[in-house]
Amino acid sequence: MRAWQVGALGEPAEVMRLAQDVPTPVPAEGQLLVRVRAAAVNFPDALMCRGHYQVRPPLPFTPGVELCGEPVDGDLAGTRVIGTPLLPAGAFAEYALMDAAAVFPAPEALDDAEAAALHIGYQTAWFGLHRRAALAAGETLLVHAAAGGVGSAAVQLGKAAGARVIAVVGGPGKAAVAAELGADLVIDRHAEDFVGAVRAATGGRGADVVFDPVGGEAYTGSTRCVAFEGRILVVGFASGTIPAPGLNHALVKNYSVLGLHWGLYNERDPQAVRQAHRELTELAVKGVVRPLVSERLPFERAAEGVQRVADGTSTGRITVLP
């Protein structure tokens, strides 16, 4: 089969190579061989290429941590499923392996590319907003990197929960995307100070919940515009800078700092993941959430897509179609 492989660590565009004769993976007991219908590009794909992710598959490996596929045999043959493939046989290939106990039916309301992008980003946003931060209707939600993959999911789910959503983005093009997603207020951090803008928009009160996949200055600024008894949700560090929070500041301002590693729910509470999928499917059927697929790249351009996500120049979700 054809598959993209990483044989050395570095920038995705430099180390991802398209191979034409990779052996089709053979499923072990409890695994499924699936034909990949669409693969969504995620920031962890870029981090794995660089060797900076917590999961480090042995070289060579095929990246791609999220897909929509079709099992080739068994009870699910001929149906569409979504989920995470089993590395090192990742999603940027014609076939991939999946854990039979960790596949989810693809919502009929979504096409292949949209379904491929529903799992990781929307599950992360759902658990972050509902399970960790307990976002309530009427509260103000501040979303950093709101035009990105997980940020766009947080904007949609925040609106679905009845929150007022303030989106922070970098540049006018991304501002237009965030507005299209339904954000109530969009702040271009390149054009104005988001801290002052959030304070002004909330009458000085600040945001009740902050969704932060960026870290660095985004986190530091968020501590200055979080509300009394607010919650800052730490989702990731796309800026490359892991902040060192001053706990004395959290004490005197009465806010909480919450961590979210969504992958742990797959290990510790898989039933909660399935329940979240059911709720996300219902929202997709109602048209309340729909992954923003900005590009559908042909298979031959997968490395380009991963590099653009690595560079932070993409909006929404980039998908690869074998």
Report field, pTM of the whole predicted structure over 0.85: yes
At 295, list the tokens. Answer: 């590009």
- Compute how many other C-beta atoms are within 10 angstroms of the C-beta atom of residue 58: 7
For residue 133, which of 157, 168, 169 has the smallest C-alpha distance? 157
Peptide bond into 298 cis (omega under 30): no
DSSP letter string, 47-105: HHHHT-SS--PPSSBB----EEEEESSSTTTTS-EEE-B-TTB-SSBSEEEEEGGG-EE
pLDDT tens digits in sequence order for the chain, 322 residues long: 999 999 999 999 999 999 999 999 999 999 999 999 999 999 999 999 999 888 899 999 999 999 999 999 988 998 999 999 999 999 999 999 999 999 999 999 999 999 999 999 999 999 999 999 999 999 999 999 999 999 999 999 999 999 999 999 999 999 999 999 999 999 999 999 999 999 999 999 999 999 999 999 999 999 999 999 999 999 998 888 899 988 999 999 999 999 999 989 999 999 999 999 999 999 999 999 999 999 999 999 999 999 999 998 888 899 999 9
SS3 232: strand
DSSP letter string, 19-45: ES-PPPP---TTEEEEEEEEEE--HHH
At 62, list the tokens. Answer: 């095929």
